[in-house]
């Protein structure tokens, strides 16, 4: 019997439903076959990339292990210990932190921070090192960037002020001292400290091994490299072993110890690169927030987008000037007082009075019901005062309110304050009340239109009334009057 006759006989005997299942099985088999081929091809590509990376690694001086790569062993010096210590030094949360890793080698520190959310960039003057770092990134998929660049006065001058929050220089400078001399490195450090707030250094020590060609060149006092830097503080945060000798290398955090405003030096007590814990860096400017002995200082560095950055910074300065002007009526009380300001080509510095207390988003859960209601009314009074001046805060959030030890709310961050309402400030106020009542930070999303559910305020008549008033379209001034009348 021929194959064709058998096929026709089977076709008659098999029900249509079974035929459909048969077709689906055949289609699935074809699909699996194609997927298998695709996976095999991917595997072959991966194997090729690993082979190339392995070959390059063997051709290099494998000082560091490769980050996130299994199957290629090596590294004269473990980097995990330094990475863990670095993370602790940076406070544990590096999300959004802008970091430059000078002399990044194969990018181990760069990748470590980038994987944890930092915006990390690595420089190295060795083309093979940079190729290995970029090929490593092609496999591990971690979002970092690498540049073939020498650490030199010219390269440092090209760094815009405010581009980086932290610069790492781990076991690099002794090579430069040997090549170009101590004064060259001192000049580099002066230029760098004029452009970034914090530098973390790991420094090779004289006497590690007399046979090392750079040993004679490095100074007895390793911190002599900072001789030309004016006004800085140094903190030793650890020391780590090296593969070259039994001596340990210290790690220092170097930061400016003062802020200059109109030739007046304000001594730094503390500093941070974000306005509040967990903040996202979304602005076209980089801000540094500094508590000093003369006030709270906000340094806005315009970076690449100078026009928009300048607009934000000058808008905030203008608010404080107008608020305290005798020509604009009674000043808004629940905001800080202006101390000083200075505007330069690439940055603006605002100084307001220090306000002791905690951000509302950090302390709401610890407040009593009475204290929460008092804070809610204080914020309402401030927003009504804005409204009476024809202004809108435009960023009413629980992280833009300080609650003083006396439980008085103080509104901060006036960058978006305007006579134009960019979002519904009343809706934002009710979401702030939700954060105040629940102790959970509200979303940073802008232009909210929906209000929290009524049930969120079931245990507070005041909060229910404020929510209902906003739902009915009442202004802040009308809300103030209706609350006072009840």
CA separation for the pair 292, 307 (Å, rounded): 28
Q: What topology is assigned to 264-352 in CATH?
A: Phosphorylase Kinase; domain 1 (3.30.200)
Grouping H, G, I as helix, E, B as strand and the rest as coil, residue 433 is helix
Tell me if 336 sits within 8 A of 400, measured CB to CB: no
Domain ranges of the chain: 54-256, 264-352, 358-485
Nearest Cα to 82, choosing from 250, 290, 328?
250
User: For every one of its 486 residues, what pLDDT tens digit does the chain have, with 9 covering 90 and above?
Assistant: 554 554 555 455 555 555 555 566 555 555 554 454 444 444 445 568 899 998 998 888 877 889 988 877 776 677 889 999 999 999 888 988 899 999 999 999 999 999 999 999 999 999 999 999 999 999 999 999 999 999 999 999 999 877 898 999 999 999 999 999 999 999 999 999 988 989 999 999 999 888 888 999 999 999 999 999 988 899 999 999 888 888 899 999 999 888 889 989 899 988 887 776 766 654 445 678 999 999 999 988 775 556 777 888 999 999 999 998 877 778 998 999 999 999 988 789 999 999 999 999 999 999 999 999 999 999 999 999 999 999 999 999 999 999 999 999 999 999 999 999 999 999 999 999 999 999 999 998 999 999 999 999 989 999 999 999 999 999 999 999 999 887
Query: How many C-beta atoms surround the C-beta of residue 306 within 10 A?
Result: 15
Nearest Cα to 397, choosing from 271, 273, 275?
275
CA separation for the pair 377, 392 (Å, rounded): 17
Grouping H, G, I as helix, E, B as strand and the rest as coil, residue 455 is helix
Grouping H, G, I as helix, E, B as strand and the rest as coil, residue 294 is coil
Pick the CATH number of 358-485 from 3.40.1010.10, 1.10.1200.10, 1.10.510.10, 3.30.70.600: 1.10.510.10
Residue 367 token pair: 């407040």
- Maximum Cα–Cα distance across the chain: 109
Residue 432 token pair: 């702030």
Pairing type for strands 358-359 and 198-202 reads: unpaired
CA distance to 88, 328, 343, per residue, from 311 (Å): 36, 22, 12
b/e for 266-296, b at 16 or more Cβ within 10 A?
bebeebbbbbbeebebebebbbbbbebebbb
Q: Which residues, 6 or more positions from 464, have their beta carbon under 8 angstroms from its beta carbon?
A: 454, 457, 458
CATH architecture of the domain formed by 54-256: 3-Layer(aba) Sandwich (3.40)
Residue 177 token pair: 């001292």
Query: How many C-beta atoms surround the C-beta of residue 61 within 10 A?
Result: 11
Structure pTM? 0.70
């Amino acid at each position: 019997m021929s194959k064709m006759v058998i096929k026709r006989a089977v076709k008659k005997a098999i029900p249509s439903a079974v035929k459909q299942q048969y077709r689906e099985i055949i289609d699935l088999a074809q699909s699996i076959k194609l997927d298998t081929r695709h996976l095999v091809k991917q595997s072959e590509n991966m194997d090729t990339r690993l082979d190339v990376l392995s070959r390059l690694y063997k051709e290099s001086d494998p000082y560091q292990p490769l980050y996130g790569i299994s199957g290629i062993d090596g590294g004269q010096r473990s980097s995990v210990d330094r990475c863990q210590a670095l993370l602790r030094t940076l406070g544990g949360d590096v999300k959004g932190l802008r970091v430059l890793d000078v002399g990044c080698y194969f990018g181990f520190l760069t990748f470590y921070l980038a994987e944890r959310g930092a915006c990390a960039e690595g420089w190295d003057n060795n083309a093979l090192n940079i190729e290995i770092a970029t090929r490593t990134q092609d496999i591990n998929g971690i979002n970092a960037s690498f540049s073939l660049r020498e650490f030199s006065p010219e390269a440092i001058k090209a760094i815009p002020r405010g581009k980086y929050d932290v610069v790492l220089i781990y076991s690099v400078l002794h090579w430069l001292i040997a090549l170009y001399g101590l004064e060259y490195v001192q000049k580099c450090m002066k230029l760098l400290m004029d452009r970034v707030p914090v530098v973390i250094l790991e420094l090779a020590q004289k006497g590690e091994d007399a046979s090392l060609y750079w040993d004679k060149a490095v100074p007895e006092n390793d911190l002599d490299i900072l001789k030309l830097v004016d006004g800085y503080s140094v903190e030793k945060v650890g020391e780590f072993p090296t593969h070259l000798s039994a001596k340990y290398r210290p790690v220092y955090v170097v930061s400016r110890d003062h802020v200059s405003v109109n030739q007046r030096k304000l001594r730094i007590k503390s500093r941070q690169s974000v306005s509040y814990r967990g903040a996202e860096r979304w602005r076209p400017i980089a801000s540094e927030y500094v508590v000093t002995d003369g006030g709270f200082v906000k340094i806005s560095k315009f970076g690449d987008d100078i026009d928009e950055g300048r607009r934000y910074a000058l808008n905030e300065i203008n608010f404080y000037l107008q608020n305290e002007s005798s020509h604009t009526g009674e000043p808004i009380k629940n905001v800080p007082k202006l101390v000083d300001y200075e505007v330069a080509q690439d940055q603006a510095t605002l100084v307001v009075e220090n306000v002791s207390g905690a951000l509302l988003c950090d302390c709401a859960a610890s407040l009593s019901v009475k204290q929460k209601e008092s804070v809610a009314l204080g914020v309402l009074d401030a927003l009504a005062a804005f409204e009476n001046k024809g202004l809108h805060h435009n960023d009413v959030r629980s992280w833009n309110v300080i609650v003083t030890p006396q439980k008085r709310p103080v509104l901060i961050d006036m960058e978006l304050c305007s006579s134009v309402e960019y979002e519904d400030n009343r809706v934002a106020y009710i979401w702030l009340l939700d954060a105040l009542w629940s102790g959970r930070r509200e979303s940073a999303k802008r232009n909210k239109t929906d209000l929290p559910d009524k049930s969120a305020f079931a245990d507070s008549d005041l909060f229910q009334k404020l929510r209902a008033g906003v739902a009915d379209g009442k202004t802040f001034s009308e809300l103030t009057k209706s609350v006072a009348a009840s």
